[in-house]
Structure 1
Amino acid sequence: MILALATCVAAFQPHQGRPAASVKMNGLKEDVAAAALATVAVFSPIAASAADIDNGATIFAGNCAACHAGGNNVIQTEKTLRKEALDSYLDGGRKVESVVYQVTNGKNAMPAFGGRLSDEEIGDVAAYVIDQANGDKWDE
């Protein structure tokens, strides 16, 4: 990363006819900061967007609520979507990444939704499930 930033600085900073070895360190901080900002601007569209919990609620209602209405589980009643159950039964524990894995791949009686839902939709559902569980909102 540092090498990439240094390369950016060297590429975009004229040396005013001086050899690279004679360029002084004065202003280097500003040059590195400018290169870092340029790097962020170039790569920021690639960064993952924040999950949309409201969209997750809509997707959950259309795809998950038949078995998990109100955070329950109509197939295996002990494996609800409440905090304690997610902590106990979800591979990896109660976190978005674990829910994403479960929804994408399925497990036991739960079908896999990878291929049916986009990665973004699955991420939104996972964020919604964790938000509901963490806030004890399933019975609202």
Structure 2
Amino acid sequence: MHGGNIIRRGRTLKLKALEQQGITSPAAIATIANQGIGQMGGYGQVLGTGGAEQVGLYVWQQALAGWAPLPSPAAQPEARGPAS
């Protein structure tokens, strides 16, 4: 949903909402991904070593970019695999 939240509209991953919650860096997002916050549990074990940091960086970069739609996999030649 491009950083939105269809369940709780006020809880989004958009930059303004993150900053209003005091989340101002990829590291802060990584901590939440790892340990959880409020009713959301952490995903540290599922994400594995370095996974929370990767999630934090991705979410932060997307928030800074305004959650622009990602290109479809078909538009990315390297995602298609070897040619027949």
Q: Would the TM-score normalized by the shorter structure come out above 0.5?
A: yes
Q: Give the corresponding residue for 1:125.
A: 55
SS in structure 1 opposite 2:5? coil
Letter in 1 for 2:3: G
- Percent of aligned pairs with the same residue? 25
How far 1:139 moved relative to its partner?
A: 4.2
Which structure 1 residue ranges, 4+ long, deviate > 6 Å from structure 2? Answer: none
Q: 1-side partners of 2:47 and 2:19: how far apart?
A: 25
Larger radius of gyration: 1
Letter in 1 for 2:20: S
The CA deviation string for residues 92-139 of structure 1, in whole angstroms up to 9 with x for no partner, is x22011101111111123221011111311111110000000111x24
Per the normalisation by structure 2, the TM-score is 0.71
Greater relative contact order, per chain length (Cα 8 Å cut-off, separation 6+):
2
Q: 1-side partners of 2:26 and 2:49: how far apart?
A: 13
Structure whose residues are more often helix by fraction:
1
1:76 aligned onto 2:8: yes
When the two chains are superposed, the root-mean-square deviation of aligned CA atoms in Å is 1.5
How far 1:75 moved relative to its partner?
A: 3.3
Q: Which runs of 5+ in 1 are unaligned?
A: 1-68
Distance 1:75 1:119, change over 3 A: farther
